[in-house]
Structure 1
């Protein structure tokens, strides 16, 4: 196994991690912005108001995108890791 192959697998794994975390992070970012704007407009500074909707949204998005994340992980494994193990 060459150094180039190791770096290619690491690059693929990092890119897969970015693609897998993108739906959850984007929903959390948008929801955090909306809740923060709502808190600034109404002067309500309750900590659970920011925490509970984000947790609920993360769980919902996780279940909705679980197939997408599994497909990315399987593609990484089949296209990057298995060829290195087989050779």
Structure 2
């Protein structure tokens, strides 16, 4: 396999990973900022207060966007990886 094809597939795979992880990471960022702001305003320094809301928000977003993630991965593999393996 030529290097150009390898690097192009690698670039597309990394971009697919970024697109798939963006919803979860953005919700974690927003929840972290909201909890941090709440802690700063109320002077409550509880460790579980930072972890539980972020974990719950990420779990909900993962559950909602699971079909999008699956479709993205399946389309990447069926459109890029499997034809390379099969030699088409």
When the two structures are superposed, what TM-score results if normalisation uses the length of structure 1? 0.96
Aligned to 1:70: 70
Matched pairs, number? 87
**Structure 1 residues not aligned, in runs of 5+:** none
Aligned to 2:19: 19
Superposition CA RMSD, Å: 0.7
Structure of higher RCO (CA pairs closer than 8 Å, 6+ residues apart): 1
Aligned to 1:10: 10
Structural mapping, 1:73-84, within 5 Å:
73-84=73-84
Show structure 1 runs of 4+ deviating over 6 A.
none
The secondary structure found in structure 2 opposite 1:29 is: helix
When the two structures are superposed, what TM-score results if normalisation uses the length of structure 2? 0.95
**Structure 2 residues not aligned, in runs of 5+:** none
